Structure 1
Amino acid sequence: MSLVLRVNSQVLGQVSSLSGIALRSGLVRLCWGPASVPMMISKVKNAMSNLVGGMMPHGHHHHHNHHAGGAQTCGPDGLPPRFPYGRPEFLELTPELLQYSTEHASRPVLTLKRGSRLPWRTGYAEVINAGKSMLNEDQACCEKLFVKKPSGKHRNSTLLDNNTVRKTPPLSRIPLHFWGVFDGHAGSGAAIMASKLLHHLIKDRLGEICHLLENPSSAPPICLAKNGNPFQVESKKGASQEPEDPDAVCDSSVRFYMEKVVSLESLIMGVIETAFKQMDDLIEKEKASYAISGGCCALAAIHLMGKLYVANAGDSRAIIIRNKEVIPMTNEFTPESERQRLQYLGFLRPELLGNEFTHIEFPRRIQHSELGKKMLYRDHTMTGWAYKTIIEDDLKFPLIYGEGKKARVMATIGVTRGLGDHDLKVYNSNIYIKPFLSCVPEVKVYNLEENKHGPDDVLVMGTDGLWDVTTDRDVAEAVSTYLSCCDPSDPMRYTLAAQDLLMRSRGVLKERGWRLANDRLGSGDDITVFVIPLVGHETDT
Structure 2
Amino acid sequence: MLNRFKSVVENVMGGIQSIPHNTEKAGNPESLEIKYAYARPDFLQLTHEEVHVSADHASRPILVPRSIERLPWNAGYAEVINGGKSKYNEDQAKAVQFMLKPPCVQPNSEDNRVLSKKKTEPVELKHITTTNLSIKNIPCTYFAIFDGHAGTGAALMAMNLLDYHVKEKLLDCIDLILSKKGLLPPQSPGAEQNSIYAATPRYGMTSKESSISVEDLVCGALEAAFVEMDNHIARERTTFRIIGGCTALVALFFMDKLYVANAGDCRAVIVKDGTSIQMSKDFTPESERQRLQYLGYLQPELLHNEFTHLDFPRRVHKKDIGKRMLYRDAQMSGWAYKTVEEGDLKFPLVFGDGKRARVLATIGVTRGFGDHDLMVHDSNIHIKPFLTPVPEVKVYDMTSCKHSEDDVLILGSDGYWDVTSNEKTVDLVLESLKHYHKGDQSRYTRLAQDLVMFARGLLKGRAWKTEGDKSASGDDITIFAIPLYRYKPLNLGKSRTSQTNSIPNS
TM range (shorter): 0.7 to 0.9
Residue in structure 2 matched with residue 472 of structure 1 by the alignment: 422
Number of equivalenced pairs:
438
Match of 2:204 among 214, 221, 233: 233
CA contact under 8 A between 1:137 and 1:183: conserved in structure 2? yes
1:310 counterpart SS class: strand
Return the structure number with greater relative CO, CA threshold 8 A, min gap 6: 2
Structure 1 residues 354 and 492, CA, compared in 2 at 3 Å: closer, same or farther?
Answer: same
Partners of 1:219 and 1:441 lie apart in 2 by: 29
Deviation at 1:339, TM superposition (A): 0.8
1:17 matched residue in structure 2:
none
| Alpha-carbon contact 1:68-1:135 (below 8 Å) kept | no
Distance 1:62 1:460, change over 3 A: farther
Instruction: Give 1:239's aligned residue.
Output: none
Partner of 2:459: 509
Determine the C-alpha separation between the residues in 1 that align with 2:179 and 2:13: 48
Structure-2 change in CA distance of 1:151 and 1:289 (3 Å): farther
Which consecutive residues of structure 2, in runs of 5 or more, have no partner in the other structure? 1-7, 21-26, 106-134, 185-191, 489-503
1:366 aligned onto 2:316: yes
1:284 matched residue in structure 2: 234
Q: CA contact under 8 A between 1:508 and 1:515: conserved in structure 2?
A: yes
Q: How big is the shift at 1:259?
A: 6.5
2:149 is aligned with 1:185? yes
Task: Report the alpha carbon displacement of residue 230 of structure 1 after superposing the two structures with TM.
Answer: 2.8
CA deviations 1:167-196 (Å, max 9, x no partner) are xxxx94211110000000010100000010
Report the Cα distance in structure 2 between the residues aligned to 1:514 and 1:212, rounded to whole angstroms.
52
2:41 aligns with 88
> Match of 2:17, as an amino acid?
H
User: What's the secondary structure of 1:361's corresponding residue?
Assistant: coil
Whether the 8 Å contact between 2:16 and 2:363 is mirrored in structure 1 is no
* In 1, Cα distance between equivalents of 2:462 and 2:68: 38
Q: Is the 8 A contact 1:514 1:523 kept in 2?
A: yes
User: By how many angstroms is 1:143 displaced?
Assistant: 0.3
Alpha carbons of structure 1 residues 141 and 208: separation in structure 2 relative to 1, 3 Å: same
In the alignment, is the contact (CA less than 8 A) between 2:408 and 2:481 conserved in 1?
yes
Residue 63 and residue 81 in structure 1: after superposition, are their counterparts in 2 closer, same or farther (change >3 A)? farther
- Give the aligned partner of residue 175 of structure 1: 139
Which of 190, 208, 223 is matched with 2:172 structurally?
A: 208
CA contact (8 A) 2:296 2:309 kept: yes
> Distance between the aligned counterparts of 2:68 and 2:150, measured in 1?
35
Q: 2:50 aligns with which of 89, 97, 109?
A: 97
Q: Identify which of 113, 121, 145 aligns with 2:74.
A: 121
2: CA distance, partners of 1:371 / 1:137? 44
Q: What does the per-residue CA deviation read over 1:296-319, in whole Å, with 9 as the maximum and x for residues that have no partner?
A: 010000011021100000000000
Q: Which residue among 197, 206, 222 is the counterpart of 2:161?
A: 197
Q: Residue 342 of structure 1 aligns to a residue in which SS?
A: helix
Q: Which amino acid aligns with 1:272?
A: L
After superposition, give the CA deviation of every residue in 1:480-507 in whole Å (9 maximum; x if it has no partner). 1111221111111001000000010000
Whether 1:66 aligns to 2:17 is yes
Residue type at the aligned position of 2:394: K
Q: Could you list the per-position Cα deviations for residues 31-70 of structure 1 after superposition, in whole angstroms to 9, with x for gaps in the alignment?
A: xxxxxxxxxxxxxxxxxxxxxxxxxx9x96889631699x
1:113 Cα deviation after fit: 1.4
Query: How far apart in 2 are the matches of 1:533 and 1:149?
Result: 28
* 1:459 aligned partner: 409
What is the alpha-carbon distance in structure 2 between the residues aligned to residue 151 and residue 355 of structure 1?
Answer: 56
- The amino acid that maps onto 1:103 is D
Quote how far apart the aligned CAs of 1:257 are.
6.2
SS of match in other structure, 1:535: helix
Contact 2:11 2:19 in 1 (8 A): no
Task: Tell me which residue corresponds to 2:446.
Answer: 496
User: Which one of 320, 323, 339 corresponds to residue 273 of structure 2?
Assistant: 323
The equivalent of 2:85 in structure 1 is: 132
Q: Which residue of 1 aligns with 2:361?
A: 411
Which residue of structure 1 aligns with residue 497 of structure 2?
Answer: none
Would the aligned equivalents of 1:91 and 1:111 in 2 still touch at CA under 8 Å? Answer: yes
**CA separation of 1:314/1:258 partners in 2, compared to 1, >3 Å: closer, same or farther?**
closer
Please give the root-mean-square deviation of Cα atoms over the aligned residues, in Å. 2.5
The residue matched to 2:29 in structure 1 has which SS? coil
Unaligned runs of 5+ in 1: 1-56, 153-170, 235-255
Task: Specify which of 423, 432, 440 is matched with residue 482 of structure 1.
Answer: 432
Name the structure 2 match of 1:53.
none
Q: Which residue is 1:525 aligned to?
A: 475
Using the TM superposition, give the Cα deviation of residue 233 of structure 1 relative to its aligned residue in structure 2, in angstroms: 3.4
1:107 aligns with 2:60: yes
1:338: how far off?
0.9
Scaled by the length of structure 2, the TM-score of the pair is 0.82
Alpha-carbon deviations, 1:340-372, whole Å to 9, x = none? 111010001000001110000000111111111
1:383 partnered with 2:354: no
1:327 to partner: Cα distance: 0.4
Letter in 2 for 1:230: P
CA shift in 2, pair 1:435/1:195, >3 Å: same
Using the TM superposition, give the Cα deviation of residue 447 of structure 1 relative to its aligned residue in structure 2, in angstroms: 1.0
Letter in 2 for 1:101: S
Whether the 8 Å contact between 1:65 and 1:132 is mirrored in structure 2 is no
The counterpart of 1:274, out of the listed 220, 224, 232, is 224
